[in-house]
Amino acid sequence: MNPDKDISLKHRLFNVVFLVGMFMSFSCSLMNYFLGAATAAILLSFFCGVITVVFYIVFKKTRNYELISLLVVILLSFVFFPTMWIATGGTGNSITYYIIINAAIIAVLLIGLKRRIILLLFALIVGALMVVEYRMPDIRTDYSSELARYIDLSFGLFVSMFSISVLIAVLIDSYMSELEKSKKLSITDYLTGAYNKGFITSCLNEEIKASQRTKKKLTVAMIDIDDFKFINDTYGHIYGDYVLKRIVSTIKSNLRQNDIVGRFGGDEFFIILRDTGKEEGYAMMERIRQKIQEIDWERDLIVTISGGVVELESDDLTDLLKKVDHLLYKAKHRNKNLIEAEASG
């Protein structure tokens, strides 16, 4: 599996932090150059960008999130920003905006006690620098012109706004994505991707109530893979799992968008067909039975299904399940590779 395709929330944030760090460092170096800032300020920003790229490459190779995060935060908080503060003249320029970004980076990259300790130490360092600047005002560097001052402050402000907005947006989007993934895992079968028994049963109960309230038709089907134990015993459970997944994929591709399929047991699946009568439901299940029978399998294997189809009348959940289960049992004992529908009348 390619880790980039299923990257965790913290690693996504890590990637964004590094991209923000690279952008911030190199853009700051470039701006300092155009504004005629001290050589030290230009080189420090550029050096920080280079170090950020190096750390990112190391992370990509090692995937050591905790160590790289801690090293990056220590470098920024206790080396780069204090040095930049002194080199650029303190609060008289845009360094204060970047200080805020660094605090956000600490909050995003670190957790628990490490976050609290680093944030506290960084706050103490910033406070100490402000006290030193207050007592030694001569260390502040004046701009070459009022235009240069506005350009630097405006650039720093917009870089900070952009960087913090990106961090917050990615954090929220990633969190919502993880929440949706977690919700999906709680209602789906881990192997086949079909809904699990609990969710499909809950859906069926709701659909029964809705159908009786709105007088719309509702048809359900229960299917079972014929001789699945033989497949497992002969070809192995890994191949059996492959059969299950391919069967579910075939079922899904032959259902409509509003239809629902769930795994009811080992090789037993339940299908809810909304706004569907018995005849149409039977035709759909018969088509699925034929599609599954036509699948080409390795080792000359032939896989078939049997099933039962029932249209809701005045049934409750238990009665409907009993009816469709009885039809499935009937199909299995008649001939297999067969779909049984409830007789009219």
Pairwise CA distance, residues 235 & 188, whole Å? 26
Give the closest residue to 268 by CA, choosing from 222, 311, 237.
222
Residues with Cβ within 8 Å of 108's Cβ and at least 6 positions away in sequence, in order, are 13, 17, 167, 171
132's tokens: 């030193």
Cβ neighbours, 10 Å, residue 275: 14
pTM of the full structure = 0.56
Angle at Cα 88 formed by Cα 83 and Cα 90, nearest 5°?
85
Instruction: Enumerate the domain spans of the chain.
Output: 3-184, 197-341
How high is the pLDDT of residue 5?
40
248's tokens: 């579910």
CATH classification (class only), 197-341: alpha beta
How high is the pLDDT of residue 122?
94
How high is the pLDDT of residue 2?
39
Give the closest residue to 80 by CA, choosing from 29, 35, 130, 116.
29
How high is the pLDDT of residue 222?
95
String of b and e for 291-318 (b: at least 16 CB within 10 Å)? ebeeeeeeeeeebebbbbbbbbeebeee
How high is the pLDDT of residue 208?
93
Pairwise CA distance, residues 154 & 312, whole Å? 68
User: Please, are residues 191 and 244 in contact by the beta-carbon 8 Å criterion?
Assistant: yes
Burial class (CB in 10 A: 0-12, 13-18, 19+), 244: buried
Could you tell me the mean pLDDT of each successive run of 10 residues in the chain, 345 residues long?
48 78 82 78 83 83 83 88 80 83 87 92 93 81 77 85 84 77 77 91 92 92 94 92 95 93 93 94 95 89 94 88 93 91 72
